[in-house]
């Protein structure tokens, strides 16, 4: 007889360390001092999933520890290598995609000499041990942490389901109230199984539990209902197919908890256990019911916060959408694409949860004779206040642009308006301490017929010019101060300067706000410099100089890595490859030239195949405008001209006695002329008449016996649009005649 403790040869083999660990219902993982995997038993592979083909050279992180817990794993290693013992929990995503809540203990692996040579980790799936209470409270804490970082309803519901299935349930349904309807929003099941069509209701379906159903009781009584064993209960089923499926999967137990917050029921959370997985206990008990009730309370608060945030975001984005231009105008010789993207919420910026709306804006404004005003701007800050300021500035700039003044003059007026709309504030002594908003802005005027681009800049980033396989910043000599920060006593004319460039045929221009290049860096990466991100952007766009403007805009939005940290506006324009039709001629300001101007217009319209009726109307209005110019030429003031005197400067008294100086005014007055310019577009023709008279025309009422005073009235009644604008030499009067309908 073998004494107690004596082992046979076979028994000794069975008690070898490797054999014991192979049968252990606990994961055992061994690493060296550098956290490289040295050993794992079969249960570790079952719990975590297979580490990978090269696991021998991998770290313990290859077992699927989720990113948010990886810093904790690194601290674990440091702590244990000092000779200490560590115990805690991890969220692990297995190879099948399921999230498992794991409780682990780590101890030092010691050499016979006593030195620490590695780490031994033992782990088990939480909620399946005798320490159920501790594990459940740990899971409750984890769920609270995950819900705290969620701002969206769908994301919130998805996070809850991932934490509970398969950790605590085989099936999870979450249904929310939409008006008086209960709608299924989540249907989560153990990995690899989905309910067959026509059995359990899918996501998006309206759910109607019959009277007497335990879910109906939970909803009516506002309390968590436990069905510990379906075998001993008989409840009405929503449908025959639903009841049949419950029998097929072996539904054993369920808990239904109402989602209630501030006295309002948001919906239901349903958890069920079935025979699809092997569990130590396939039934819920009263402790589980209370645990699910606590989870439901946290879920309800998170959903309520997410619903409130989404409502606020929807309101803010609708506000922003209506402040930005809707459909862009169709313009001759110009292709346009725009993008606007709101920023990510600022929950992690120490500023609380803020809406995504901001103060970035763009606009495209049709001007005289087919010219177009283009603007991009950015109000400092974010939220409804920045958007409201943006809306006021956009409306003001549109109004100022109709005066057809230079871009520098427009920015100067907008700078004054920025100061006017500053929120009135007073200090303790009653003094005005209003601080104007800080706004960067760039305003450009583009003429598609000459491809001339005039612009002025108020502290905004220069546009990017895409041409011939290159992407470079547009050369800007004068970048003025942002709107609202000009020093007192300095006139705006000294701050904002107009510059002119000519775009190459087919060249594209990308205007953007700083949200395009100022991105939130990815995790564990530093913030790149602005020049670095700009280089990445230009490198990407340089390969797309011939692409459509929509493709350029789309490529620009994704060229810079990282999350959008500030709202972002993009505007892309491309000049036409082909020259647009234009005719221009200068005439002496004499009555006989009225007929010549009309003849020139008639010939041009005939060459352009303008419909005869429209051509005759345009010629009639040409006669009226040119006649008006000729009649007023005799009373026009002499334009200011630069007097150039050869030789050394003369004394003041002598300069007025120069020979021929007295006849200078007569010479200039007798040399007046006007220029007629005709332009043809896709759907209109434009007529411009330039002269040296500084006075802008206006419509006046003509008496019964007056011979004149009706020309501009006819232009106003018969043209689609008309107007006048100052030029460097005088003024231009223009009108538009549509060639297709009125």
What is the pLDDT at residue 668?
44
Window from 104-113, 356-365, 625-634, 641-650 with minimum mean pLDDT: 641-650
**Tokens 């970035």 sit at which residue?**
360
Gap between the Cα atoms of 376 and 569, Å rounded: 8
Q: What is the phi-psi region of residue 344: left when phi exceeds 0, alpha when psi lies from -120 to 50, beta otherwise? A: beta
Query: For a pLDDT cut of 70, what percent of the chain falls above it?
Result: 80
In this prediction, residue 636 carries a pLDDT of 55
Q: Please tell me the predicted confidence (pLDDT) of residue 741.
A: 60
For residue 725, give the H/E element and its range.
strand 721-726
Model pLDDT, residue 249? 92
The number of C-alpha atoms within 13 Å of 497 and in the hemisphere containing its C-beta is 9
Instruction: Give residue 656's pLDDT band: very low, low, confident or very high (50, 70, 90).
Output: very low
Q: Which residue has the higher pLDDT, 424 or 707?
A: 424
Is the distance from CB of 609 to CB of 638 less than 8 angstroms?
A: no
Q: What is the DSSP letter of 191?
A: T
The residue with greater pLDDT, 427 or 301, is: 301
From 82-96, 126-140, 588-602, the region with the lowest mean pLDDT: 126-140
Q: pLDDT tens for residues 574-583?
A: 999 889 999 9
Query: Regarding predicted confidence, which is higher, 326 or 403?
Result: 403
Q: What is the pLDDT of residues 457-467, one digit of tens each?
A: 999 999 999 99
Chain-centre distance for alpha carbon 394: 19
| Token representation of residue 518 | 């100022």
pLDDT digits (tens, 9 = 90+) for 478-500: 888 899 887 665 666 667 899 99
Instruction: Output the pLDDT for position 659.
Output: 46
Q: Which two tokens stand for residue 612?
A: 């005869």
Mean pLDDT of 225-229: 91
Q: Supply the pTM of this predicted model.
A: 0.64
pLDDT by residue (tens digit) across 63-102? 777 776 777 777 778 888 888 888 777 778 776 666 777 7
Mean pLDDT score of the chain, rounded to an integer? 81
Q: Residue 272: what pLDDT?
A: 94
Cα(484)–Cα(400) distance, integer angstroms: 17
- Label the pairing between strands 116-125 and 334-341: unpaired
Residue 253 has pLDDT above 90, yes or no: yes
- The DSSP bridge partners found for residue 446 are 372, 453
Instruction: Give the per-residue pLDDT at 456.
Output: 94
Average pLDDT estimate for 611-619: 93
User: Does residue 284 contact residue 274 with C-beta atoms inside 8 Å?
Assistant: no
| pLDDT tops 90 at residue 366 | yes
Q: Which residue do the tokens 């594990």 mark?
A: 135
């Amino acid at each position: 007889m073998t004494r107690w403790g004596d082992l046979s040869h076979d028994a000794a083999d069975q008690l070898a360390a490797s054999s014991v660990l192979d049968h252990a219902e606990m994961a055992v993982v061994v690493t060296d001092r550098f956290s490289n995997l040295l050993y794992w038993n079969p249960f570790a592979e079952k719990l975590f999933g297979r580490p990978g083909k090269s696991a021998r050279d991998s770290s313990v992180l290859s077992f699927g520890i989720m990113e948010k817990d990886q810093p904790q794993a690194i601290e674990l290693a440091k702590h244990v290598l000092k000779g200490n013992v560590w115990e805690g929990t991890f969220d692990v995503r297995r190879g099948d995609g399921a999230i498992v809540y794991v409780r682990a203990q780590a101890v030092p692996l010691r050499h016979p000499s006593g030195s620490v040579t590695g780490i031994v980790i033992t782990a088990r799936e939480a909620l399946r041990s005798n320490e159920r209470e501790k594990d459940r409270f740990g899971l409750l804490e984890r769920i609270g942490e995950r819900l705290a970082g969620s701002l969206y309803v769908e994301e919130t519901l998805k996070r809850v389901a991932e934490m509970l299935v398969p950790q605590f349930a085989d099936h999870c349904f979450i249904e929310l109230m939409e008006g008086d309807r209960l709608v299924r929003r989540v249907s989560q099941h153990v990995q690899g199984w989905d309910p067959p069509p026509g059995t359990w209701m899918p996501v998006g379906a309206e759910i109607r539990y019959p009277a007497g159903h335990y879910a109906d009781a939970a909803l009516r009584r506002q309390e968590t209902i436990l069905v510990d064993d379906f075998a001993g209960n008989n409840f009405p089923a929503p449908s025959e197919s639903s009841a049949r499926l419950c029998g097929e999967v072996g539904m054993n137990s369920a808990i239904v908890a109402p989602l209630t917050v501030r006295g309002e029921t948001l919906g239901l959370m349903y958890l069920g256990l079935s025979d699809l997985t092997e569990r130590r206990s396939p039934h819920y008990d009263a402790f589980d019911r209370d645990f699910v009730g606590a989870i439901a309370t946290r879920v309800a608060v998170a959903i309520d916060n997410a619903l409130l945030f989404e409502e606020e975001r929807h309101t803010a984005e609708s506000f922003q959408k209506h402040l930005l231009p809707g459909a862009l105008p169709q313009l001759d010789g110009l292709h346009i694409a725009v993008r606007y993207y709101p920023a990510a919420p600022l929950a992690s910026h120490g500023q609380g949860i803020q809406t995504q709306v901001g103060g970035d804006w763009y606009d495209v404004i049709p001007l005289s004779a087919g010219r177009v005003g283009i603007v991009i701007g950015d109000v400092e800050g974010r939220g409804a206040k920045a958007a409201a300021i943006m809306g006021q500035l956009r409306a003001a700039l549109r109004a100022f642009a109709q005066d057809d003044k230079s871009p520098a003059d427009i920015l100067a007026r907008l700078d004054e308006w920025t100061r006017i709309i500053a929120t009135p504030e007073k200090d303790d002594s009653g003094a005005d301490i209003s601080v104007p908003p800080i706004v960067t802005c760039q305003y450009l005027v583009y003429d598609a017929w000459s491809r001339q681009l005039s612009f002025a800049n108020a502290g905004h980033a220069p546009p990017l010019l895409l041409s011939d396989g290159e992407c470079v910043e547009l050369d800007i000599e004068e970048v003025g101060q942002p709107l609202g920060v000009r020093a007192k006593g300095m006139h705006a004319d000294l701050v904002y300067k107009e510059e002119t460039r000519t775009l190459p045929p087919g060249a594209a221009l990308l205007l953007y706000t700083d949200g395009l290049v100022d991105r939130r860096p990815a995790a564990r990466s530093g913030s790149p410099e602005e020049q670095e991100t700009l280089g990445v952007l230009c490198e990407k766009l340089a390969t797309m100089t011939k692409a459509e403007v929509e493709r350029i805009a789309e490529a620009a939005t994704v060229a810079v890595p990282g999350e959008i940290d500030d709202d972002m506006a993009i505007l892309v324009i491309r000049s036409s490859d082909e020259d647009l039709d234009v005719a221009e001629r200068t005439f002496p300001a004499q009555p006989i030239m009225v007929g010549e101007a009309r003849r020139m217009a008639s010939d041009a319209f005939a060459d352009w195949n303008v419909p005869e009726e429209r051509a005759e109307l345009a010629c009639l209005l040409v006669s009226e405008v040119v006649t008006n110019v000729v009649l007023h030429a005799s009373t026009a003031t002499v334009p200011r001209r630069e007097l150039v005197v050869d030789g050394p400067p003369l004394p003041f008294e002598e300069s007025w006695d120069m020979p021929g100086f007295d006849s200078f005014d007569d010479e200039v007055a007798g040399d007046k002329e006007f220029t007629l310019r005709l332009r043809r577009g896709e759907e209109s023709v434009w007529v411009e008449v330039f002269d040296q008279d500084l006075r802008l025309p206006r419509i006046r009422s003509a008496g019964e016996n007056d011979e004149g005073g009706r020309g501009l009235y006819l232009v106003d009644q018969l043209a689609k649009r008309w107007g006048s604008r100052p030029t460097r030499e005088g003024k231009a009067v223009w009108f538009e005649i549509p060639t297709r309908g009125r």
